[in-house]
Amino acid sequence: MQEEIRFATFNVCNLAPAGTKLYDNLEPLTQVQYEAKREWTARQIDLLGADVIGFQEVFSQAALRDVLAHTRHYRDATQAGIDAVDGHGRMLPSVALVSRLPLAGPGIACPTFPAGVSLPVDGHASDANLARYARAPLHVQVMLPGGHLTDVLVVHLKSRRPDYRNGDGNTVLNYALANLRSLQRRGAEAVALRVLASELGHSGRPRIVLGDFNDIANAVTTAIVMGAGAPDETDHEAGQANNMRERLYDSNAIQLRQDYLRHVGYTNIHDSAYMTIDHILVSEHFHPASPRAIGLVLDVVYLNDHLLQALPQASDHGQVLARIKLLGNIG
């Protein structure tokens, strides 16, 4: 049985075919630029060498398939993901999953919030948009070596980009309010994701939530997704506290090979600040303190040298790779 599995997350930064208009302030890629981006992305995927990779900012699932066709080791991998378009037919960013492990079925997009979760009422947004993710999470069931079915969620939470309204002037107040609106949406998405991950956890299956959270691990929004500080639940049948069952854990924080003297785990550079906003969260099934562990996070690696090189074809995010050692026969 395969003893080690690898999960990764990769924000590919506006992956779309040549000539596709994505944003008003962004010129479409030329054919030469697209081919350079395709080749760089394919090499980076091979360098990761992960069994399962979650992708963000995929504007075209066909473009991602084209990238995979130019890899050395993922041409036969399974791809899950659904294209998204707006009311005018313009491509929107979506997420995707690529796996060299078997999938139990097709990926399922989760565009709407669970019942009871909504943004504050906003006169500029439709009622429907108050209860929808900006980018729908993707739920995929992956079969681990040995037969354990694992729920994987690929996510991309709302960015920190200020959410201006039409007609807003460039004032201190408007800038602050625009940032607040972005935070409110990211916060609502975090709550919705926490409920979704919790509902999946009722099955008792392992869970992995990975992607671009647009916030650091200690941020309130990320802590909401992890369930940090939530009240303990009690397993009445066992008669004991069961506080680990609901939680998710930052794989970087629980990895076995900690090196506090050389921590270079950043995935984004903004205004000269180095931040880790891409994360791999795992359920207790991969935590060394859990009696129900089926594997342990050996280490977490960040591929981020390209951020300092400022290559035009490269992503503006680093990639995160978690290596997990499976424990014995988990079938």
Question: What pLDDT is recorded for position 260?
Answer: 60
Could you read off the pLDDT of 103-124 as tens digits, one per residue? 999 999 999 999 989 987 765 6
Give me the residues of the chain with pLDDT under 70, please: 1, 122-128, 230-242, 259-265, 270-272, 329-331
The pair of structure tokens assigned to 329 is 């026969």
Could you read off the pLDDT of 149-197 as tens digits, one per residue? 999 999 999 998 888 887 777 899 999 998 998 999 999 999 999 999 9
Question: What pLDDT is recorded for position 262?
Answer: 55
Question: What pLDDT is recorded for position 239?
Answer: 41
CB contact at 8 A, 248 and 282: yes
Residues 6 or more apart whose CB falls under 8 angstroms from that of 260 comprise none
Q: Is 257 exposed, middle or buried (0-12, 13-18, 19+ CB in 10 A)?
A: exposed
CB contact at 8 A, 96 and 78: no
Q: What is the per-residue burial (b if ≥16 Cβ within 10 Å, else e) of 198-235?
A: bebbeeeebbbbbbbbbbbbebebbbbbbbeeeeeeee
